[in-house]
Chains A and B, each alone.
Chain A
Amino acid sequence: MLNPKLKAMIRRIDDLPTLPRTVFRITEMINNPRSSARDLAQVITDDQVLTARLLRLVNSSFYGFPQRITTITRAIVLLGFDAIRHLLLTTSVFDIFSDRKSELQVAREKLWDHSLGCAVAAKVIGKQIRHDKIEELFVCALLHDIGKIVSMVYAQEDYAAVTRLAAEKNILLFEAEAALLEYTHADIGRLLAERWNLPNMVADVIVYHHTPDQAGPYAKEAAVVHLADIFCRALQLGSGGDHRMPALDTAAWDLLQLDETDIAPMLAEVESGFNDISPFTDAIVTAATA
């Protein structure tokens, strides 16, 4: 049975900006080896807002192309399929984080950095374990705490009470949620994932990022994001609203088959990767507000 508070939350979720369908159409298209740059350009140009923003982005100083790019086709040729998809996803997720209705702007910015740091870390870990879907891992991690955003926007008082309790008792945010609200941001994330028709892998990682051993077919991906969450907290990249380190799930660690000696080089790569991506997100912010 659904908790009544959670039920009320579902009704409000419809007001949240959604991940545009375009993003998923593009994902399918890129997975199809027969699709061309022209096909992809067609899908993007169907969405005028996205088109305008994408052009602003590729013309930003982050990319530094010498001459102005005026068409999506040209942008795809210059940047490649993967980069374009990555860009679209990141900007779409950013939209959700930058909902202006919420007053908790600082908390939201910190959560964005936490999510981005986690996404960078998930990629680094994915590379280390030779995972074959590294871009998907990036997206899973970027969205793992999306339930917190919903709380911030639609249940501000609850969210404030939860962060207060987490600070007072020095417990994890999801423990405070469970104690106070009887649902957690992972539960909200599950609802969102259903509403948005997110791929199963993304949905399951969101739901099980605190309990990766329960993630079933996506246990490995949940384990990656679980460890990525610890990495970006350790490096103090942003904040997820609490000041506590989750205990490492040892089964998840074993599943990844990493060695203790991998930690130092991976963390160093997360640090430099996060620095590299910051100008990229600055470009996203500028393109979104221009």
Chain B
Amino acid sequence: MRRILLKDASAGMSLAADAINAQQMLLLKKGTALTEKSLQMLKSWGVETVCIAQSETEDIETVSPADNSAAIQEELLSQFADTVENPIMAEICRVAADIVHERTHSA
């Protein structure tokens, strides 16, 4: 895997490690394929670098498409993107992400 600047990442690349921001918030799981939307989302959450898989053969566990909690999580994070400078909103987002995650996993 290779760590690159977010601005050099493009849609279609796969994450070789979890994307985490400076506040240690998990934004995207490793194995997720990047999209234009998720790149935008990572940017607005202040992510500067990401680890991407170097080749298609590189052994990374991919997120199963059946696991739609990752998609929901991504949606949530992109909704909140430009409001989280407010600490209250950041807290709401953090707690809600946990609850939504829990909900999709127990269902």
- Which positions in A face B, CB cutoff 8 Å? 230-231, 233-236, 243-248, 250, 253, 260, 263-264, 267-268, 271
Binds A, one of B3-11, B19-27, B47-55, B87-95: B87-95
Residues of B within 8 A of A (CB): 72, 75-76, 78-80, 83, 86-89, 91-93, 95-96, 99-100, 103
Q: How many A-B residue pairs have CB under 8 A?
A: 54
Q: A244 vs B89: C-alpha distance in the bound complex, in angstroms?
A: 13
Q: Are A236 and B72 in contact (CB under 8 A)?
A: yes
Q: Which residue of A lies closest to B93 (CB)?
A: A234
| Residues in B neighbouring A248, C-beta threshold 8 A | 83, 86, 88-89
List 17 other contacts, CB 8 Å, given A236-B75, A245-B80, A247-B83: A230-B89, A231-B92, A231-B96, A234-B76, A234-B93, A235-B100, A236-B72, A243-B75, A243-B79, A245-B89, A247-B86, A263-B88, A263-B92, A263-B95, A264-B91, A267-B92, A267-B96
Q: Is the CB of A263 within 8 A of B91?
A: yes
| Given A245-B83, A248-B83, A271-B103; A253-B88 close (CB under 8 Å) | yes
Q: Which residues of B contact A247 (CB under 8 A)?
A: 83, 86, 89
> In whole angstroms, how far apart are the Cα atoms of A268 and B76 in the complex?
17
The 9 closest A-B pairs by CB, nearest first: A234-B96, A264-B95, A245-B79, A267-B95, A263-B91, A245-B83, A245-B80, A234-B92, A271-B99
Q: Which residues of B contact A260 (CB under 8 A)?
A: 87-88, 91
A271 to B101, CA, bound (A): 12
Closest CB in chain B relative to A263 CB, distance in Å = 5
Q: Which residues of A contact B75 (CB under 8 A)?
A: 236, 243
Give the docked Cα–Cα distance between A233 and B95 (Å). 13
Given contacts A234-B93, A248-B88, contact A268 B99 (CB under 8 A): yes
Question: Which residues on the A side are within 8 Å of B87 (C-beta)?
Answer: 260
Closest to B37 in A: A170
Q: Report the bound CA distance from A267 to B97 in whole Å.
A: 11
Q: How far is the CA of A248 from the CA of B76 in the complex (A)?
A: 16
A267 CA / B96 CA spacing, docked (Å): 7
- Whole-angstrom distance between the alpha carbons of A233 and B86 in the complex? 17
